[in-house]
Structure 1
Amino acid sequence: MIAPLTHAVRDQPLPEIAETVIEVRNLTKRYGRNVVHQHLNFDVRRGEIVAIVGGSGSGKTTLMRQILGLEKPTSGTIKVFGQDTSQIDPEEARLMRSRMGMLFQQGALFSSLSVFDNIAQPLRELGKVPEELLRDIVMLKLEMVGLPCKNASKMPAALSGGMIKRVGIARAIALEPELLFLDEPTAGLDPRASDEFVELISALHRALGLTVVMVTHDLDTMVALSSRVAVLADRKVLVAAPVEEVAHVDHPFIREYFLGLRGRLALQGLSPERRAKLPSEALEPACDAIALRTAM
C-alpha cells in the first residue's frame, strides 16, 4: 500500500533544519509522590524528526502530552513556536493546536464516524470550510496517505490496523500542520506494513516540510526516520543527538537498548558514513539478531 506521494518526493531534499520550535526548560512532572520528570530540558528544531525513547514508565508519552497541552507540568516552562504554553489565552491555544497534528497509538478514530467524517472533523471544528471544498481536502488527504477514495465511506470497524493508522495520519495533517506528533506509529503492524508506514512518514516529512516528534520503542523505525534521538532516563533527557552519537554514551539503558542484539541489527542498517561513527561494540556481528528476527 505505497502512497503515490512516496514516489513523487523520493528525490526531494530533506527539509532544512532551522529555528527551535519546541523548547522545554527545567520541566518537573509529578503524580502525587511519583516524580516522572525532574529538571528536564528538551529542544526540537524546525525540520527535524526527533525520536523519544526510554524504558517503560520513563514518561515518553507524558512529555509529549505536556508539549501538546493535554497535561500541565508541575513546574518548568514549555515554549512552542516561541510562546509559553502556560501564558497564552484559550484563543491563542486553539490557534496553536491548529498548527500541530497528532497520531495516537491506536489511531483513536471516532468509532461512530466514517473515514470521511473522521478526517473532516478538524476542518469542521474551524467552521470556515465550505462543504464542497472540505470534500476535496478530505479526498486529497486520503490520496496522500495511500488510501483509495472508496474507503471514505467505511467505518473504522471495517479497517485493518494499517488502514486505521493511515486514516489517523490523514486526520492529523488535515489542517496542514507544521508539527506532527506520533505515539508508537508502527506499533501493532506487521513488518511489511511497518516499512510502508515508515516510508509514508518520510514522504510526508519531505513533501510538507514537517517537524516530527515521535515516541517509539521500534529500533528500526527510530533508525530509519530520526535525525536525532532523545533518550529519557533518570527522569530527564539524558542525551539528544544523532543515533550514532547516542550509542557512545556510557549509560546502562543506552548500552542495553542500542548495543544489544536488536539494537546492533538496527544500527548496522545505517549508511556507511554513519556506521563509521558508531562505537566498535555496535559493529559486532549481528547474525544472532538476524536469526532472532527470522524466528519471530
Structure 2
Amino acid sequence: MPTVALAAAGRLLHFELGVAYEIFGNPPLNAEHGWYDVLLCGPGPIQVGPFVVEPDHGLDRLVSADTVIVPACADVDEPPPPELVDAVRAAHEAGARVASLCTGAFVLGAAGLLDGRRATTHWAHTDELSARHPEAIIDPDVLYTDNGSVLTAAGKAAAVDLCLHLIHLDYGATIANTVARRLVMAPHRPGGQAQFVATPIKVSGDHLLVRVLAWAQERLDQPLTVTDMARQASTSPRHLGRQFRSVTGQTPLQWLLTQRVRRAQEMLEATDESIEAIARATGMGTATTLRRQFKRVVGVPPDSYRRSFRATISA
C-alpha cells in the first residue's frame, strides 16, 4: 500500500489540502489492488483556512513516504517554515516523489527541488516564484509539470488534475477516470494544457486602449489590422504598439490572437458549432488555422478541449 504524506506546516489554504485528502483518502469501488495510506504530517496544530487541524504524524514521517504532497501556502510573502523545507528535502533525497499544489511550489523552491527543473504555480505567482528561484524553469502557461520525482501544479482545479495524474501513473486510466467521475471532473486534462485564465488588463476609463479593446472584441469575426486598431484609437500604429506592450505585455496582433482563441474556447464549451463555423466566427478563417493557433496557445487541439469540457458537464 503506497503511502501519501500531506506535508502541513505554517498557514495553508484549505481547498488544496482538502482536495488532496479527499482524492487520496477515499478509494474508488474498483480499486481491487489496494489504495493509498494517507498521512497528515506536521510539526503541531496548523491553521488551514478558518480551521485549526492537528496532524496525525510529525514531519519526520515524510522521509519514509512514497509520495509527499505539499499543499498551498496561504501567504507566499511569508518564508516557508524551515522545518517543512528540511523535511521535504530529506524526503526527496530518501526517494520520495514530491508534488506541490498551487503555491506549495514555494516550499519545493526553498528546498532546492526546482533548480534546473520545469515548474509552475498559480499564474498570479509565477513571476514571484521565478524571481525567488532563478535556477528553476517556471512555466506560467501549463496546468501541471511532471519531472518524475518532482511535480508541480497550478491553482485550484489544476491541483485536482495533478492528483488525478498521480493516480493515473500509479493505478492506470480506468481507476483515475473513476475518481474523476466521483469528483464530477473531466477524466483527464494533460499537464501541457494552458491555465485557462484571462490575465486582468488594468486600464482607466480614459486610457486610449479602453475604446479599442472593446471595439476589437466586438469584431473578432472580421479581418483586423494594427492600422485598423490604431485608427480606432486615433493614434499611430507605433504608439498603439507601445501602449499594448505596456498594458498587456503583448503586441496588438498577439493580443488579438489571444482574444480569438478565448472566444473559440467559449464556443467550444457552450455550443455545438463545428470547428469550421467557430473558425469563421473567431476570424481564424479556416479550421486548419484554428487548430494550429488553438493548439499553440492552449496546448491541446480544439477537439480535445471540447471533449474535456463536455466530459466534465456529463460526468
Determine if the TM-score, normalized by the shorter chain, exceeds 0.5: no
Higher relative contact order (CA 8 A, sep 6+): 1
With normalisation by structure 2, the TM-score equals 0.28
User: Could you say which structure has the larger radius of gyration?
Assistant: 2
Whose helix fraction is larger, Structure 1's or Structure 2's? 2
With normalisation by structure 1, the TM-score equals 0.30
